[in-house]
A and B are shown apart, each in its own frame.
Chain A
Amino acid sequence: MAQDPGKMKAYWKKNLKTLFFLLLVWFVVSFGFGILLVEELNTIRLGGYKLGFWFAQQGSIYAFVVLIFIYVYRMNKLDKEFDVDEE
């Protein structure tokens, strides 16, 4: 595949930036809200839930699903932008 190495470097850099941002959110909603800050968040209520408990048992899972779809959308756009997408 004859691709311009400079362009590919830029593509990879943007890819890594996307990954970094998404994994940061991944870490914050699960390890952050669900474990490290659970006591503090439990003082806040979300209907019948304590917020920290909700993140640990349900909220983080919803966030994971959303994260993957943002990734899919963002990467498809990036692939097109750099002309490395598949037909």
Chain B
Amino acid sequence: MEILTWTYLLVGLSFALYIGIAIWSRAGSTKEFYVAGGGVSPLANGMATAADWMSAASFISMAGIISFAGYDGSVYLMGWTGGYVLLALLLAPYLRKFGKFTVPDFVGDRYYSKTAKVVAVICALFISFTYVAGQMRGVGIVFSRYLEVPIEWGVVIGMCIVFFYAVLGGMKGITYTQVAQYCVLIFAYMVPAIFVSMQLTGNPIPQLGLGGAVADGTPLLDKLDGVLTELGFAAYTSGRKSITDMFMITLALMVGTAGLPHVIVRFFTVPRVKDARLSAGYALVFIAILYTTAPAIAAFGIFNTIESTSEKNISELPAWVSTWQKTNLISVDDKNGDGKVQYVADSDANELSIDRDIMVLASPEIAELPNWVVGLVAAGAMAAALSTAAGLLLVISTSVSRDLFKTFRPEISEKKELRIARIAAAGAVVLAGYFGVNPPGFVAQVVAFAFGLAAASFFPVIIMGIFSSRINKEGAIAGMLSGLIFTLAYIIYFKFISPEFNTSDHWWFGVSPEGIGSIGMLINFVVCVLVSRVTPAPPQDVQDMIQEIRIPRGAGKAVDH
């Protein structure tokens, strides 16, 4: 069968599955809508968290970034997984014991202040929106390449699907749909990786294949280092970023991961505190399967690409080059007119340019795998983008209905609250779709900064809220605002106001805008502690609550106020 037929078949089947699950597990109450009734098993929750977390960026872009960045790409691998250690050890069990529905709920109660809560809601909305707009764009790109429809239509189709199950099913629907989506996406990611690893190194496990040897007996990574330095690039296994910058970016991504509202909220859905700890462990196992495969796909991808194109006659290039040329993601320009492709570091002489986003999507074609594998990767990429989009929409709708509406209008009925949540989700879908169709140029750049902002705003006040009983509302509000404003200002200055200064010479202490969230976090911590010292201690009932959340017994179900 043709690639297109396989794609329609596999994408169609997986969508039918998601919608079926959404109908089967429809939410009937606010509690089911927000936290799936609080009865999800840790294993299922771990899978759902993994799907929720791994977005189009993880599935499509990460391996591609590593392909071209080599060792420097490690910041994403360590950063996006190391955050789960912080989550499991420092946040999940205590927030579960606290037992409300959202992060702003916690901030509002712990810091006995509506102002603190509203600041938290604004942070949550901002982070979620920048993120979800990027996902919708990802859905559009995948649809347009595989279903051969315009990107706009791709976005609209994606909107309809997400709308259907996020709005109808709430957290309950999303949880079980995400379990299915995890299975689809991990299968789709692993199949081509296993095939390629077999072809290149004879080892079916990609994680080990990366350390394996190619046909002539030299280790793959050494061979890659050699080929790249010969062409004028830096060696694959050595870094170009400064140690300070590597450190700061990794830290910002780790802390940001632990502060992302759509990930934290998942730990409210399990029955007990010990399940919250365990499900963070399961989540990381499921994530690690993909994250340890990604560096293998990255190295195989760049190796295969160079082998099959560099110094080859343009007329004899493999078929995938022309397929992807149609989407403008690959371009070949014979500058010196010798009829051969020169792939070199010098941009004046280089004749091949490759968009890094195609490394995963094109990997089955590059390795000449059967057509059904190509269709499978399309279905997996969809699953990754849609599951994250749905999780984020839920955070947005909960923030609006619960953290904003119910805080100021506590008398509204549960039925009405649920209706507001659904309307908010619908509104968010439309807005995200709009940004997917008309992407403001900054969306792609801003997604990475959502982490910096989460690191600089949420993380310190949640940690301090649990581990210190002296931090008060004045400290928390001042901390969140100073961390957030500093980080935003630094990013906006270097990315939008004076992008020409965005080089290591002008950065403060050599920290790039990607890593500045780490400094923002430190500022937040320091301001938080200092301001709390000179203002009165929190009231006794809040101090009692802090003691209470430190003890696992008596968690009960996540409760309404």
Contact = CB atoms under 8 A, between A and B. Distances in A.
Interface string A12-39: 1001000100110010001100111010
A68 B287 CA distance: 13
B517 to A, nearest CB: 16
Task: Kindly name the residue among A3, A48, A49, A86 whose own CB sees the greatest number of chain B CB atoms within 10 A.
Answer: A48
B118 interface: no
A51 to B, nearest CB: 11
Given A26-B85, A68-B280, A85-B274, A48 B74 contact: no
B247 A35 contact: yes
Given A19-B90, A68-B85, A1 B213 contact: no
A48 B280 CA distance: 32
B57 interface: no
Nearest to B550: A12
Contact of B221 (A48, A64, A67, A72): A48
Contacts of B548: 1
A51 B157 CA distance: 46
Interface in B263-321: 272-274, 277-278, 280-281, 284-285, 288, 291-292, 295
A59 to B, nearest CB: 9
B553 interface: yes
B211 interface: yes
A54 B296 CA distance: 11
A72 B411 CA distance: 40
Contact of B237 (A1, A23, A50, A61): A50
B220 interface: yes
B245 to A, nearest CB: 10
Interface string B110-136: 000000000000000000000000000
Nearest to B555: A86
A8 B90 CA distance: 18
Interface string A30-71: 110011101000100011111001101110111011011101
A15 B547 CA distance: 13
Nearest to A76: B274
Contacts, number: 140
Nearest to A54: B211
B243 interface: yes
A72 B77 contact: no
Contacts of B550: 8, 12, 15
A15 B445 CA distance: 39
A72 B281 contact: yes
Contacts of A31: 247, 250-251
Interface of A: 1, 3, 8, 11-12, 15, 19, 22-23, 26, 30-31, 34-36, 38, 42, 46-50, 53-54, 56-58, 60-62, 64-65, 67-69, 71-72, 75-76, 79, 84-86
Given A42-B237, A48-B211, A75-B93, 4 more contacts: A19-B89, A47-B219, A60-B78, A79-B553
30 contacts: A1-B553, A3-B551, A8-B550, A11-B551, A22-B85, A22-B89, A30-B250, A31-B247, A34-B250, A35-B74, A35-B247, A47-B219, A48-B219, A48-B221, A49-B211, A49-B221, A50-B221, A54-B211, A56-B74, A56-B77, A57-B74, A57-B210, A64-B82, A68-B281, A71-B89, A71-B277, A72-B278, A85-B553, A86-B274, A86-B553
Interface of B: 66, 71, 73-74, 77-78, 81-82, 84-85, 88-90, 93, 207, 210-213, 219-222, 237-239, 243, 246-247, 250-251, 254, 272-274, 277-278, 280-281, 284-285, 288, 291-292, 295, 547-548, 550-555
